[in-house]
Structure 1
Amino acid sequence: MRRAAFSLLAAVLLSAGPALAEAAAPVPCGGPLPAFLKAFEARAVAQGHDAAAVRAFFRGARIDPKVLAADGAQGVFRKTFLQFSSALISRSRVVGGERNARRYAAIFARAKRDYGVPKGILLAFWAFETDFGAVQGNFNTRDALLTLAHDCRRPQVFQPQLMAAITLYEKGEFNPQTTTGAWAGEIGQVQMLPRDILERGVDGDGDGKVTLKTSVPDALLSAAHTLQMLGWRANQPWMVEVRVPKDLDWARTGLNTRLPARQWAAMGVRARQGQLPGGDLPASILLPQGRKGPAFMVFPNFDVLFHWNKSFVYVTTVAYFADLMEGAPRLDPGHPDPQLDLAQMKALQRKLQARGYDVGKVDGILGRKTRTAVQKEQKRLNLPADAWPTLGLLKRL
């Protein structure tokens, strides 16, 4: 599970678009590595990097086949929300979160004051990415970035990151020989890519450098700054567990429908504990495993988390763990219908594709696109449109 955690932040960055892409076309990918390095070094010098520094940066560089293997191993996302959250939210992480909340109370207070991000959210990312800094990955970062920059699937994403690593090297904040991290090139306790470190990193401990591997203040404040730049809204909720009436219009649930929180309340939606927050804030009713499983009301800050990671189950688990760290009780799991197995999920996606839906890759993962298609077909077939695929739906299709 820890190894999988390294790939989680990468999932969003691998599919990120303009935010990480250079305006210029990437260096031609693939082919012999020496030719690629020669072209990339020339591009780096043309962009203002010192030629000697560039040569030193790439001395001993190599393609790492384990990076490419890790890139294709994303089966963890096929778990249901309850399976996934149970795996990530261990007793040790809860205890560690509570302990670190006390230990670094002043840093969390600063993150909330300066960036509007509460401690629960930061603790969740810190826990899931690296177990509070204990497991940061053992891939050579330069070689991981080089491997993915050379690979022809996403050169426009990773070549700018490799170029940013050269900048960090020139600043004295990156050692190409010894810096290690996740397979996709993320560095440090909250797993940030080099360009994000340059643009969003914070020197939290005042030593003049942004050191995400060893400095907790740098890591936490950099994460908070990143979330603020991604659109986090200070003093607003992100998610609350709710009770939903049995006669709710299930077709209005899901992330594609937003209504003021008070309008949901008028329909009978209630907070499981305390009062519903939000008032006039736009909110959605989220049923990760259908109407028989847990239910949440989510707000605009929940959407911000998808900029950090595209995985539905990961984002929902982050939001839930953050709630726990802020004092919420353990959720009510309910009694959801069984999950389709991998073969059945792929069959479902193919049937949805045949009906004209965009479900992305047929991979057996119940992501946002597949959920949207499932809900539309449930509604068409006069089934409870809660976006949770069942064997009955598969048979009807």
Structure 2
Amino acid sequence: MLVAFIAATAFSFDQRDFMTRARLFAPITALVLAATAPAAHAAQCGGDFRQFLAGVKQEALSMGLSARAADRTLGNAQIDRKVLSRDRAQGVFKLDFLTFSKRAISGYRMKNGAARMKQFGGVFSRAESEYGVPAPVITAFWALETDFGAVQGDFNTVNALATLAHDCRRPELFRPQLIAAIHMVQNGDLDPRTMTGAWAGEIGQVQMLPEDIIKFGKDGDGDGHVNLKASSSDAILTAAAFIQNLGWQRGQPWLQEVTLPSNFAWETTGLGKRKNGSDWARMGVKARSGKISNLPASLILPQGRKGPKFLAYPNYNIYLEWNQSFIYTTSAAYFATRLAGAPRYDAGSPDKGLSDAQMKQLQTKLKSMGYDVGKVDGILGSNTRDAVQNVQKQLGMPADAWPTPALLSKL
């Protein structure tokens, strides 16, 4: 769940997997569309903007929202061309794990994260007590999303949502978000004139969409409102409620750095392959700190057998629900372990990876061999990793799913 504003680093990561949201709220969206299909079907997106907004208003009224709230929300809404530009040119996330994690998990964020956990200790204790989500997990997301609220975005939220709902690329996602914004206005939790956030409509210190806020929003400071933009207490509790809903298991680990013997069976690694912790231990897997849990876990190698190595427990999957980028997910999960007291990872000395052009060349070759790598986009996604691992095994190479110039040359 990320439109990340990592302004303190040398890069920007503006790509969020909105399909995760679409899956989470598909039942809500389906009910909305079913209830209003006869009246609003013809104007679900596109066409005259004012007529489109009139259709949104009627849909909101049919759901029990007030005409006053709808008029306040939509009355001055405008198309924002910068939003469309951002939507059409979302950055492709191609940094490797070591590069991304080193930039994202700075000394500043470590120090500030520890200070925030202390400052809001009571709120974090409540979050863990009520929702089972520990402070380091929430704090890592808080840091990576907005630098603890420092960089929340400056796009008018209603304009952004109205623009994307009117646009016909993903109206099934953004039209309900615009309806939810009306709901927030009615609750007194959103001022349509002044509320700003990310270009895709996310709001506040942990960057959540209006439907998320309506469903999971918590009043952490007791003022009777959910204000994720200004209230850190509200943001912390809301994030905890959302993470719990994604399936977080209380008291369980999420990621653990490990060491492996040099003759390890590399073909057993990868997110899709699980063993109980005791089975991994029998294979020579050892924890760098603490003890290996006997929960089911996958052994992941973000940069191959010569880079950092982690056991990913079931709670790691919650990170994938928040954001489906493997590198962001692993970095966020690792960041949380650092905030919880784990040592800095052993970076090792990974083999050189592929350039963007080389990665596209590899994907093209893998496609010609019958592997489904999806779009030839230069991104080392799960399908490409799986294909690389299979080819490495066939060629008698260590099957660690890390593509190198040596592999490309062999192909």
Q: Please tell me whether residue 270 in structure 1 is matched to residue 274 in structure 2.
A: no
Query: CA distance change for structure 1 residues 68 and 114 in 2, over 3 Å: closer, same or farther?
Result: same
Aligned structure 1 segments of 4 or more residues deviating by more than 6 angstroms: 4-7
Number of the residue aligned with 2:320: 306
Greater shift after overlay, 348-357 or 107-116?
348-357
Q: Distance in 2 between matches of 1:84 and 1:68?
A: 27
How far is 1:333 from its partner? 0.5
Contact 1:9–1:129, Cα closer than 8 Å, also in 2: no
One-letter code aligned to 1:131: D
Match of 1:99 among 104, 115, 119: 115
Match of 1:376 among 382, 390, 394: 390
Match of 1:58 among 62, 69, 74: 74
How far is 1:258 from its partner? 0.3
Q: Distance in 2 between matches of 1:384 and 1:152?
A: 46
Q: Please tell me whether residue 317 in structure 1 is matched to residue 359 in structure 2.
A: no
Number of the residue aligned with 2:237: 221
Number of the residue aligned with 2:259: 243
Q: Write the deviation string for residues 302-357 of structure 1: whole angstroms up to 9, x where unpaired.
A: 01111111111111011111011011111111111112111111222222233333
Q: How does 1:131-146 map to 2 (within 5 A)?
A: 131-146=147-162
Q: Write the deviation string for residues 354-373 of structure 1: whole angstroms up to 9, x where unpaired.
A: 33333233221112222122
Q: Please tell me whether residue 191 in structure 1 is matched to residue 207 in structure 2.
A: yes
Query: CA distance change for structure 1 residues 110 and 95 in 2, over 3 Å: closer, same or farther?
Result: same
Q: Distance in 2 between matches of 1:153 and 1:88?
A: 31
Greater relative contact order, per chain length (Cα 8 Å cut-off, separation 6+): 1
Q: Distance in 2 between matches of 1:141 and 1:4?
A: 23
Number of the residue aligned with 1:2: 6
- Structure 2 unaligned spans of 5+: none
Query: CA distance change for structure 1 residues 251 and 74 in 2, over 3 Å: closer, same or farther?
Result: farther
How far is 1:15 from its partner? 4.8
Aligned length: 395
> Which secondary structure does the structure 2 equivalent of 1:337 belong to?
coil
> Which secondary structure does the structure 2 equivalent of 1:284 belong to?
strand
Number of the residue aligned with 2:127: 111
Q: Please tell me whether residue 84 in structure 1 is matched to residue 84 in structure 2.
A: no
One-letter code aligned to 2:353: Q
> Which secondary structure does the structure 2 equivalent of 1:84 belong to?
helix
Match of 1:17 among 17, 22, 34: 22
Query: CA distance change for structure 1 residues 355 and 153 in 2, over 3 Å: closer, same or farther?
Result: farther
Q: Distance in 1 between matches of 2:71 and 2:302?
A: 50
Q: Please tell me whether residue 284 in structure 1 is matched to residue 298 in structure 2.
A: yes
How far is 1:14 from its partner? 4.5
One-letter code aligned to 1:166: I
Number of the residue aligned with 1:340: 354
Q: Distance in 2 between matches of 1:7 and 1:161?
A: 24
Contact 2:133–2:244, Cα closer than 8 Å, also in 1: yes
> Which secondary structure does the structure 2 equivalent of 1:241 belong to?
strand
Match of 2:58 among 29, 39, 42: 42
Q: Please tell me whether residue 69 in structure 1 is matched to residue 85 in structure 2.
A: yes
> Which secondary structure does the structure 1 equivalent of 2:93 belong to?
helix
Q: Distance in 1 between matches of 2:221 and 2:198?
A: 24
How far is 1:381 from its partner? 2.4
> Which secondary structure does the structure 1 equivalent of 2:23 belong to?
coil
Q: Distance in 2 between matches of 1:76 and 1:193?
A: 21
Greater shift after overlay, 335-344 or 360-369?
360-369
Match of 2:166 among 133, 137, 150: 150
Greater shift after overlay, 284-293 or 85-94?
85-94
How far is 1:144 from its partner? 0.9
Q: Please tell me whether residue 391 in structure 1 is matched to residue 396 in structure 2.
A: no
Contact 2:15–2:91, Cα closer than 8 Å, also in 1: no
Over the aligned positions, Cα root-mean-square deviation in angstroms equals: 2.0
- Structure 1 unaligned spans of 5+: none
One-letter code aligned to 1:343: A
Q: Distance in 1 between matches of 2:358 and 2:135?
A: 40
> Which secondary structure does the structure 2 equivalent of 1:2 belong to?
coil
How far is 1:102 from its partner? 1.2
Contact 2:14–2:91, Cα closer than 8 Å, also in 1: no
How far is 1:283 from its partner? 0.6
Q: Write the deviation string for residues 68-88 of structure 1: whole angstroms up to 9, x where unpaired.
A: 222344446200001111111
Q: Distance in 2 between matches of 1:4 and 1:55?
A: 38
Greater shift after overlay, 377-386 or 355-364?
355-364
User: Between the two proteins, what is the percent identity of the paired residues?
Assistant: 52
Contact 2:219–2:225, Cα closer than 8 Å, also in 1: yes
Q: Distance in 1 between matches of 2:385 and 2:48?
A: 42
TM-score (norm 1): 0.94
Q: Distance in 2 between matches of 1:121 and 1:239?
A: 11
One-letter code aligned to 2:23: P
